[in-house]
A and B are shown apart, each in its own frame.
Chain A
Amino acid sequence: MLAKRIIPCLDVDNGRVVKGTNFVGLVDAGDPVEQAKFYDGEGADELIFLDITASSDNRATMLKVVRMTAEEVSIPFTIGGGIRTTDDMRTMLRSGADKVSINTAAVNNPKVISEGAEKFGVQCIVVAIDAKKTAADRWKVFIHGGRTETGLDAVEWAQRCESLGAGEIMLTSMDRDGTKDGYDVELLKRVTDAVRIPVIASGGAGNLDHLYQAFAQADVDAVLAASIFHFRQYTIAQAKEYLRTKNIFVRT
């Protein structure tokens, strides 16, 4: 049976992890490769690196992180942030990333989804959607790190991404992101009902029951979390143990 996935997300700025650098026992806790290895050993099912570096000068730094992670880590990992073209995708995939995540570029140029899917396969194209509730039962898509409203309806955009060839949707609730109040289960459910590709829940995880609610109520395939793992509030093993007691099937 296919297991539900737990995915820690590492925000990387200029080659350094910017959140949760209080890991015990790591030689250099701010080193993304060290953290990736740690999560690999702890039983994470996948990893996501988000390159939040604003300037493109630092792409080389990120590529180095990708290359070293590919050498050191034995679980799949995704790279997001600043990927605009299929050339950018190729560079990341050739350097050892298993998947690439696109957000703003997908909205500005939806063709990049289908071109990427044709060139590299649907399995490595993740579309990240940042959604914000604007009315009852309505969520709009935002880009540029949440600064620009697009007017796109989040559910319709997710369906469009699927038809263009996205292999997976990473859906972040901007309302919940950073709040620790739990995922926006309502939004997640609307999207999982509307598409057949896997959906990753993101934004708002504050405790283990939040992870459970996303799986149980919204039928997501994976949950992404940052601070609850980075600040060692919970280990990956604790999260899996909790989910197991709630009859969510996870990898041992």
Chain B
Amino acid sequence: MIGIVDYHLNNLRSVQKAFEKVGVQSFISDDPAELQSAEKLVLPGVGAFGQAMENIRALGLQPLLLDHAASGRPLLGICLGMQLLFSKSYELGAYDGLGIMRGSVKQFPDTVKVPHMGWNQIEKVKQSPLLKDVVENSFVYFVHSYFVVPDDDVTLTQTEYGFRFTSIVQDQNVFGIQFHPEKSQTTGLQLLKNFAGL
């Protein structure tokens, strides 16, 4: 069973519905005890980094997420959820993230429109079971003003927006997707299906 982590920032139904579409059962919970039983965890999210970390700590979800990642079970961060996996963010200040992956979260430069909003493409950098049957240069739906700069070689795909930034990461059992697979039609559904099948 896939557990979708609710840290009270957004509507999680679209993620759950996307899993339903590929025939995968999931449950939404903000309770660490309940989420502990999940084989796989999904950390979705939109909103501000600082507020998200505050909620995660207040709900006692930080140890759960760290333990889950350390146990080798699959964990997937989506959008802000991907950014939260990293050590540090500079969104409206400087905040510590979960630190499951090393790297930081930075704002797009003045040379491009922000937020980066709409359908953009993903270019594969590495192969991974997560990218099974995902076509090169597929269009997926992005909405974000910040992007991750990993310290390590974890980039699976990159996306061009004035320059190339990391759009999917993997470090062993931990995955991050910067765009919204639940809003990205067939490509998005394929990624969620692949994650569910890990």
User: Interface on A for B, CB 8 Å cutoff?
Assistant: 1-5, 45-46, 70-71, 74-76, 93-96, 98, 118-124, 167-168, 196-198, 221-222, 251-252
Whether the Cβ atoms of B11 and A221 lie closer than 8 Å is: no
B114 within 8 A of A: yes
Given contacts A75-B185, A197-B114, contact A123 B119 (CB under 8 A): no
**Pairwise interchain contact B119-A70, C-beta atoms closer than 8 A:** no
Contact present for A252 and B139 (CB under 8 Å): yes
The 10 A-B pairs of least Cβ separation, nearest first, read A123-B143, A251-B119, A121-B47, A3-B119, A251-B139, A2-B120, A121-B46, A74-B185, A76-B183, A123-B115
Q: Nearest chain A CB to B157's CB is how many angstroms away?
A: 14
For the A-B complex, the count of residue pairs with Cβ-Cβ distances under 8 Å equals 90
Set A70, A71, A119, A198: member contacting B117, Cβ < 8 A: A198
User: Which parts of B16-68 form the interface with A (CB within 8 Å)?
Assistant: 17-18, 21, 46-48
Is B161 located at the chain interface by the 8 A CB criterion?
Answer: yes
Greatest chain A CB density within 10 A among B118, B120, B142, B185 is at: B118
* Known A-B contacts A5-B118, A70-B17, A96-B14; A196 and B48 likewise in contact (beta carbons under 8 Å): no
Taking a contact as CB atoms under 8 Å apart, the answer to whether A3 and B118 are in contact is yes
| Interface magnitude class on chain B | 35 or more
Contact (A70, B46) CB under 8 Å given A1-B120, A5-B118, A198-B115 = no
In the complex, which residues of chain B have a beta carbon less than 8 angstroms from the beta carbon of A96? 11, 13-14
Question: Of A1, A123, A222, which contacts B46 at CB under 8 A?
Answer: A123
